[in-house]
Amino acid sequence: MADKIVLVDTSILIDLFRKTDKANSALLFLVRQGYAYSISAVTEYEIYTGAALGQVNFWDSFLERTEVLPFDKTVAKVAVDINRELKRKRKLIDTADLFIAATAIANNLPFATLNRKHFDRIDGLSIIE
């Protein structure tokens, strides 16, 4: 059983979906490193809004086995603080990415993404390779 948990970004799930050989996906790499994983409710939203009709069964099956962390009052407060700091630096990011990062920070979880460009701007977000 995994001894550590990581919050994974939507990009990690899309990578899994697109790989013909799932064993070469970033998600399975994390699992082999001993990580269990969770996702943000915002990631679940992004997955379903981007899924074609023929992909929904795959995502239903995958997500029923995945812990989804809520966007709650604590996450909202963290998101406000992050947004305030990014605004001050003039380095704003997409709202969905902001909410996903806030979920990781609010739950004291490291974060895994294949899109570091925006997430590197966030102080206090521990991004794992």
What token pair was written down for 86? 């990014």
Find the range with the poorest average confidence among 2-16, 26-40, 58-72.
Answer: 2-16
As a whole number, mean pLDDT of residues 108-127 equals 95
Q: For the whole model, what pTM was predicted?
A: 0.93
pLDDT above 90 (res 118): no
- Of 76, 66, 78, the C-alpha closest to 38 is 66
Is the pLDDT score of 76 beyond 90? yes
123 versus 118: the higher-pLDDT residue is 123
Give the span between the Cα atoms of 60 and 37, in whole angstroms. Answer: 17
- Tell me what pLDDT residue 55 has: 96
**Beta strand segments in the chain, E:** 4-8, 35-40, 67-69, 111-112
